[in-house]
Chains A and B, each alone.
Chain A
């Protein structure tokens, strides 16, 4: 379980996360919504330890990410897919996917490669195992990014606006893969602006407003007139997203 308790994050004078509380149970798909600058990505970066907390506590399966040993264990349990893919440019798709399983999980190379090829096949990139990121389209790169994350067999998948840098067709490809993962029961924390997709795959939706978590509701309730939509800021946000 991922538990964030009273999490605060400060950059200089700016408090970008204000006493945020969040629990993600195994098997859940939790979508974080909010306007740009509301702290969504920062929250993900706090969960995977890329940002040190200014206050509060985050645990992943009981491991406190603010301790060295806890962070190592938390990173074993979770994997992150990034908005801008962040693939290793000097490695092939296969190399990107097998590096951490070989170096961190100590898998034999042959086994890591077999696992990577199976993942690439699953996302329709079996023929591109030897391609460098520069030789792949944005959607293909993101699919490699997802494979890289899944190769670590994480209990939790953290997805930070993974379709924001993609065109609609590529977005569709990536979302289809994520929907399959959700159907398989993969636990996901998902930052996105794809409202309809979030509505389709999420078990819960939380809404961040200027660093404050103002709503945390089951998906159906979030979109109900007497639920999330009763909150003026959320109604305004959703109607603006629909127009865009």
Chain B
């Protein structure tokens, strides 16, 4: 089989790249969700400085191309004496860019939380942090998790750009294999399947989380 004959010698290298993509995406997803939740809480704060700082972060990182952000971190920061490895730079840049979008959907979820529920939590003596983590965030995520899923899937697809800063994740590895074999059709066909598998899995996970978070909406 011609297809397999082309891919077989390079499958290990491609899978290494795939593993790097998975690790980078998992770390970036965790980073983006944590940063997004923190920023959303800041954007719903009563303090205008806190709110302004969070809004500025969101505005900047939503409105600048990811490639520019990535180059800024990778090529720009060393000029300030800040040296971070390519992989770490990629994960941090994806987390920061993703967090800006995630904060938007979590904030819209927060705005759906009934103020009466928050009042009940306040009068029971819960701290602000407990109110946010135990009451507001779980309720907000109920409506936010689906649109957040789209953002996270986009983040996975965006990971292919890390190949531009020397990270040999899946796309980076594929570029090398394609250049070696002169068989881009076969190589990129493998990429199509692997990226589609990854995003499909993520999509299933998001659906499962959505069902779990909304189990309390089932009437008796």
Given contacts A99-B134, A132-B216, A135-B218, A86 and B114 within 8 Å (CB-CB): yes
Inter-chain contacts of A75 with B (CB < 8 A): 122-125
Which segment of B135-143, B163-171, B185-193 sits at the interface? B135-143
Chain A residues within an 8 Å CB radius of B127: 103
CA distance A125 to B138 in the complex (A): 25
Q: Contacts A135-B219, A135-B220: A90 and B125 contacting too (C-beta < 8 A)?
A: no
Q: Tell me, rounded to whole Å, the shortest Cβ–Cβ distance linking B78 to chain A.
A: 46
Q: How many residues of A contact B (CB 8 A)?
A: 29
Task: Please give the number of chain B residues whose Cβ is less than 8 angstroms from any Cβ of chain A in the complex.
Answer: 25
Known pairs A88-B121, A90-B213, A152-B125; A131 contacts B220 (CB<8 A): yes
Give Cα distance in the complex from A103 to B125, angstroms.
Answer: 9
In the complex, the answer to whether A87 meets B124 with C-beta atoms within 8 Å is no
Which of chain A's residues 116-160 have a Cβ closer than 8 Å to chain B? 131-136, 148, 152
Q: Write out the residue numbers on chain B whose beta carbons fall within 8 Å of the beta carbon of A91.
A: 216
Q: Is the interface of A mostly helix, strand, loop or mixed?
A: loop
Query: Which of B116, B142, B220 counts the most chain A CB atoms within 10 A?
Result: B220
Q: Decide: B216 and A89 in contact? CB cutoff 8 A.
A: yes
Q: How many contacts A-B (CB < 8 Å)?
A: 75
Q: Which residues on B are within 8 Å of A, measured CB to CB?
A: 114, 116-117, 119-127, 130, 134-135, 138-139, 142, 213, 215-220
Check if A50 sits within 8 Å of B121, measured CB to CB. Answer: no
A78 partner residues in chain B, CB cutoff 8 A: 123
Complex partner residue of B217 from A99, A131, A134, A152, CB under 8 angstroms: A134
Contact of A134 among B120, B130, B139, B218 (CB under 8 A): B218
Sample (6) of A-B pairs whose CB atoms are under 8 Å apart: A82-B119, A86-B114, A88-B117, A99-B134, A103-B130, A134-B220
